[in-house]
Amino acid sequence: MESTFKEMRDGESVLDLSPKANVAGGVEDVYGEDRATEDQLVTPWTISIASGYSLLRDPHHNKGLAFTEKERDAHYLRGLLPPAVATQELQEKKLMESLRKYEVPLQRYMAMMDLQERNERLFYKLLVDNVEELLPVVYTPTVGEACQKYGSIFRRPQGLYISLKEKGKILEVLKNWPEKSIQVIVVTDGERILGLGDLGCQGMGIPVGKLALYTALGGLRPSSCLPITIDVGTNNEQLLQNEFYIGLRQKRATGKEYTDLLHEFMCAVKQNYGEKVLVQFEDFANHNAFELLAKYGTSHLVFNDDIQGTASVVLSGVVAALKLVGGTLPEHKFLFLGAGEAGTGIAELIALEISKQTKTPVEETRKKIWLVDSKGLIVSSRKESLQHFKKPWAHEHEPVKELIDAVKAIKPTVLIGSSGVGKTFTKEVVEAMASINEKPIILALSNPTSQSECTAEEAYKWSEGRAIFASGSPFDPVEYNGKIFVPGQANNAYIFPGLGLGLIISGAIRVHDDMLLAASEALAGQVSQENFDKGLIYPPFSNIRKISAHIAANVAAKAYELGVATRLPRPENLVKHAESCMYSPIYRNYR
């Protein structure tokens, strides 16, 4: 299995399955094409699929009314379907029409999850073709509400649950998962779901949603993606009291009990899937997120989306914004509200980029960047009492308590909200930014929409239409003074699918900061003049597969340059190569 390219392409190219493989009753391996072993790659016709009733209930192969007359004959489907034969396009049209009839976003989410469970290719076809419309349904912001209500809407498990009960048996648990050739794991412990706090085991919606995007936006095969929730309990009293809660009913395990379980998990992952499986940490609380990344960053292929993915997407937006605002990155001054994973992650990547541009040590370039946390501006007199990840940002300054006073004192050109607390960019704060800057860059990153630091409308109105605004959760275009303003979405969804694809196609064994810079650069390079003309600092999500291919190519190129790529030889044209590796959700024909 020396080449993912081969694995993925052959996986995709097993379009026709041999007649002898069609076993009535479907007792044989129905997932063969995605589990392709070296043997199967040479002789793909040995793969079998389910048939008849089982085939209709197998989401990986079911096509519903799109089964042709010939397929209905060959696969024992006669009578199990009504007479009409539909195309995938017609099915898509019907589903989009019915989805649009739901007025409640959560109903749309549930309809999409049902589709994923019923007909996987149709689910991804819908998502790929209608990405701008459906991203807010299967992902932020609706996924946040889904996690809050996960116990009540729970129908079928969609990933692996590893709780304290599985301690000592995690390797066995991994082996229970039906798919064997896993390339990406997104794992959460549910302690900080978006800006919604501790949702315990119900955080599962996040890995499921992120991995749906890995496939739809980044082209990874669905069968190579594994969502995992680690359940060590929850400190959310409401959930503990809720009769429908699906997780362990206990307070969070901490200390050695926690680190031992995570260590067992990380070792089991490597043992079961090898060193090239990508583990994306998602929505862990600050104290664990930094530690896990530091601990496993040198032994595993790991990446923290909230620290690193968010950093990469925000750096890209800021670099793109310079075209609208003027000046170079080192000439700008940054103020953050929020000094957790996202805030310090972004700050560090910006400092690193400035350091590279100016050939100045990062210790110096950090001084252009100021952070405010719940206690006020982070300054040197607070250093002793600060958590370690905040210490590099404790610069010389007198104490300042309120954000508005920090804005007035620091006079930033860029204001970034990453605290998870909504409505903190008040009228006063935005007005202060607008009085200091001709075109203030204002990024309200906290998710979901309820936690956004301000709305797009507020940012444009309070800055008299001068703000360059983007937010973590999507906002509709805003009309102000007869002009239409289109806000961008500064969400790590732009980065992680392409970054993951780049790591996989190069066979990278480590994630390096330079890859985040490479991803960021690729994304900024995809913003067109037409986008800039609308005030956008991100390209539209409708082009996301092309964007992901460019990100993947830049990341893979960096992996080869750094000597951490194991898939040799390096393909000549990495963009084309990335595109050719992408999963297509178009139905396959069954012989």
Ligand X SMILES: O=C([O-])CC(=O)C(=O)O
User: Which residues contribute to the site for Mg ion (CB under 5 A)?
Assistant: 282-283, 306
Choose from Mg ion, ligand X, none: what does 585 bind? Cβ within 5-8 Å by kind. Answer: none
Q: In what order do the strands lie in the sheet with 302-304?
A: 160-163, 225-231, 184-188, 278-281, 302-304
Please, what is the minimum distance in Å from the beta carbon of residue 303 to ligand X? 12
Binding mask 254-283 for ligand X (x = CB under 6 A): -----------------------------x
* Residue closer to ligand X (CB basis): 158 or 492: 492
* Residue closer to ligand X (CB basis): 51 or 447: 447
- 10 Å CB burial of residue 532 (0-12, 13-18, 19+) is middle
The SS3 of residue 323 is helix
Choose from Mg ion, ligand X, none: what does 394 bind? Cβ within 5-8 Å by kind. Answer: none
Choose from Mg ion, ligand X, none: what does 467 bind? Cβ within 5-8 Å by kind. Answer: none
Cβ contacts of 484 within 8 Å, gap of 6 or more? 477, 478, 534
End-to-end CA distance of the chain: 27
Ligand-binding site membership of 282 (annotated): yes
Q: DSSP 3-state helix, strand, coil percentages of the chain (rounded to 5)?
A: 50, 10, 40
* Residue closer to ligand X (CB basis): 424 or 447: 447
Ligand-binding site membership of 57 (annotated): no
* Residue closer to ligand X (CB basis): 194 or 519: 194
* Residue closer to Mg ion (CB basis): 183 or 308: 308
Choose from ligand X, Mg ion, none: what does 521 bind? Cβ within 5-8 Å by kind. Answer: none
- Give the strand pairing for 376-377 and 369-373: antiparallel
> Which residues, numbered 465-524, are part of the site for ligand X (CB under 6 A)?
472, 491-492
* Residue closer to Mg ion (CB basis): 158 or 463: 158
Q: Are 514 and 562 in contact (CB under 8 A)?
A: yes
Ligand-binding site membership of 192 (annotated): yes
> Which residues, numbered 542-571, are part of the site for ligand X (CB under 6 A)?
none
Active site residue: 63, 210, 390, 461, which one? 210
Is 210 known to be catalytic? Answer: yes
* Residue closer to ligand X (CB basis): 305 or 348: 305
Nearest residue to 571 (alpha-carbon basis) of 550, 549, 556: 556
- Binding to ligand X by residue 140, rule CB under 6 A? yes
Please, what is the minimum distance in Å from the beta carbon of residue 492 to Mg ion? 7
- Binding to ligand X by residue 306, rule CB under 6 A? yes
Please, what is the minimum distance in Å from the beta carbon of residue 210 to Mg ion? 8
Q: Measure the CA–CA gap between 369 and 349, rounded to whole angstroms.
A: 11
- Binding to ligand X by residue 191, rule CB under 6 A? no
Choose from ligand X, Mg ion, none: what does 564 bind? Cβ within 5-8 Å by kind. Answer: none
Site for ligand X (CB under 6 A): which residue of 40, 54, 142, 447?
447
Q: Measure the CA–CA gap between 557 and 89, rounded to whole angstroms.
A: 36
Choose from ligand X, Mg ion, none: what does 11 bind? Cβ within 5-8 Å by kind. Answer: none
- Binding to ligand X by residue 365, rule CB under 6 A? no
Count of residues of this chain found to bind ligand X when the rule CB under 6 A is applied: 9
- Give me the long-range contacts of 9-16 (CB less than 8 A, separation at least 24): 9/580, 9/581, 10/36, 10/41, 10/44, 11/36, 11/221, 12/221, 12/583, 12/584, 13/44, 14/44, 14/47, 14/588, 15/588, 15/589, 16/588, 16/589, 16/590, 16/591
Please, what is the minimum distance in Å from the beta carbon of residue 401 to ligand X? 26
The SS3 of residue 505 is helix
Ligand-binding site membership of 237 (annotated): no
Active site residue: 31, 139, 150, 161, which one? 139
The SS3 of residue 74 is helix
Ligand-binding site membership of 447 (annotated): yes
Backbone angles phi, psi at 485, to 5 degrees: -110, 130
Cβ atoms within 10 Å, residue 262: 23
Nearest residue to 9 (alpha-carbon basis) of 590, 587, 589, 580: 580
Q: Are 551 and 587 in contact (CB under 8 A)?
A: no
Handedness of CA 372, 373, 377, 381 (dihedral sign): negative
* Residue closer to ligand X (CB basis): 40 or 447: 447
Is 576 known to be catalytic? Answer: no
Please, what is the minimum distance in Å from the beta carbon of residue 147 to ligand X? 10
Please, what is the minimum distance in Å from the beta carbon of residue 164 to ligand X? 24
- Binding to ligand X by residue 305, rule CB under 6 A? yes
Residue type, 74: A
Q: Are 308 and 294 in contact (CB under 8 A)?
A: no
Q: What's the Rg (C-alpha) of the chain? A: 24
> Which residues, numbered 193-222, are part of the site for ligand X (CB under 6 A)?
194
Please, what is the minimum distance in Å from the beta carbon of residue 584 to ligand X? 25
The residue number with the shortest CB distance to ligand X is 140
* Binding residue positions for a divalent metal cation: 282-283, 306
Contact positions vs ligand X (CB under 6 A):
140, 194, 283, 305-306, 447, 472, 491-492
* Binding residue positions for (S)-malate: 192, 447, 491
* Binding residue positions: 192, 282-283, 306, 447, 491
Q: Which residues are catalytic?
A: 139, 210
